[in-house]
Amino acid sequence: MDSLYKIIGVALITCIATLVVKPVRPDFAVFISIVGGIIILFMLAGYLTEIFDVFNQIFNFTNVNSSIYKIIFKIIGVGYLVEFTASLCADSGNSSLGDKVLLGGKIIILVMALPIVTSILEIVMELLPT
Amino acid sequence: MEVEIIFKIAAIGILTAVVSQILKNSGKEDISTLATLAGVVIVLIMVINLIADLFDTIRTIFNF
Amino acid sequence: MSGISAWLLSITGVVLLSVLCEFILPEGQINRYTRVIFSFVTLFVIISPLPLLLNKEIDFSFPNYDYTLQEDYLYELNLNKLDAIQTDLQAEIEDAGIYNIKISISANAYSENLEIYSIYVELCDISFSADFENKNISEAKHVIEEIISYMPSLKDVPISYDS
């Protein structure tokens, strides 16, 4: 529960600070909101590690292919980073740049997932009578 | 660590605005622009350090 | 029967994980996309035992893109470590009162923990500070070897001199 209060506190302080600074220097308000977002993400990092440990256990328990597991992890990581960068760009006013970053992330995720698609096709091809 | 950075950035912002106003009123406008720019650069360095930390943490979590 | 139960278990695992991942990635546009990818993964896991049923071999090795990237990163990391060790050593020897010596450390920059092969010390331009006792080469070598033996990463590394 402590972390929840910390997160709420940081968010409120960020909002108040932005309100204070905006009439004086509007560009600093963007910096403050960016930094507030980063601090909240930092607080979540510990929880994320726990969740991924449990994921690890599930994977070892249900013997899925370990390469699939790595691909899924990388896809989640790329998703996070890309989404964070896109909202940062949108906050500072270049939402079109954020869209392009999203596009880059989607293409990279697709490239990482292509081997799975090819494997599916290979399996189907092996099943067909030649 | 966490909330102090927000206060620092807000303080630097208000400080640069005040300094810039004072310098403008006493006629030295170019120095005022330099002071504003310096404030922005300082805050930028702090923010970029923080972002680099964040990316490193994400990299370690996801074992890139 | 154990094969079928393993297969069912892996399907359960993948579906469970996809649902959980959708929880922790609740962010707009990427969410739709990762849903598509997870559906591909689930399809793959469901289909995977079929070639075993029909006694055909399928090779499930996915290309690993991380090796080259890690090598470059490792090289840079080790180079930085090596530079740091060299500057530290130089600074400590200068603190002890010996100036103008050059130290080169040869190491394997591609190994995971930087393996140091040997240290080469050039003593040709050596000069001493005012309060250094016994200003001769053998005393200098003695002091250098002592400093090197205090650094944990350089223990037991053969040292060679040029004189």
Residue C68: predicted pLDDT:
47
- Burial of residue A87 (number of CB atoms within 10 Å: 0-12, 13-18, 19+): middle
Range of the domain at B50: 2-61
pLDDT band, residue C64 (cuts 50/70/90): low
Q: Are C93 and C122 in contact (CB under 8 A)?
A: no
Residue C51: predicted pLDDT:
75
Query: Are residues C81 and C141 both part of a single domain?
Result: yes
The answer to the question of residue C31 being in a domain is: yes
Query: Are residues C113 and C153 both part of a single domain?
Result: yes
The total domain count for chain B is: 1
pLDDT in tens, C105-120: 787 777 766 777 788 8
Query: Are residues C130 and C157 both part of a single domain?
Result: yes
Range of the domain at C127: 67-161
- Burial of residue C17 (number of CB atoms within 10 Å: 0-12, 13-18, 19+): buried
pLDDT band, residue A96 (cuts 50/70/90): very high
Q: What is the pTM for the complete model shown?
A: 0.63
B-chain residues near A74 (CB < 8 A):
62, 64
H/E run at residue C131: none
Query: Are residues C135 and C73 both part of a single domain?
Result: yes
- Cα–Cα distances (Å) from C89 to C138, C152, C155, in that order, read 18, 12, 13
Strand, helix or coil for residue C158:
coil
The total domain count for chain C is: 2
Above pLDDT 70, what percent of chain A?
A: 99
Domain range annotation of chain A:
1-62, 64-130
Pairing state between β C98-99 and C127-128: antiparallel
Query: Are residues C71 and C151 both part of a single domain?
Result: yes
B38 lies within 8 A of chain A by CB:
no
* Of C25, C70, C3, C63, residue with least CA distance to A55: C25
The answer to the question of residue C58 being in a domain is: no
Asked if the Cβ–Cβ distance from A119 to C54 is below 8 Å, we say no
Size of interface A-B (CB pairs under 8 A): 82
Asked if the Cβ–Cβ distance from B54 to A41 is below 8 Å, we say yes
Give dist(CA B62, CA C6) in Å, integer. 27
CA distance A51 to chain B (A): 11
pLDDT exceeds cutoff 90 at A29: no
pLDDT band, residue C143 (cuts 50/70/90): confident
pLDDT band, residue C82 (cuts 50/70/90): confident
B-chain residues near A42 (CB < 8 A):
2, 53-54, 57
Asked if the Cβ–Cβ distance from B9 to A32 is below 8 Å, we say yes
Mean pLDDT within A56-85? 82
Mean pLDDT by 10 residues, chain B (64 residues): 84 90 88 89 91 84 70
pLDDT exceeds cutoff 60 at C39: yes
Residue C56: predicted pLDDT:
62
Give dist(CA B44, CA B46) in Å, integer. 5
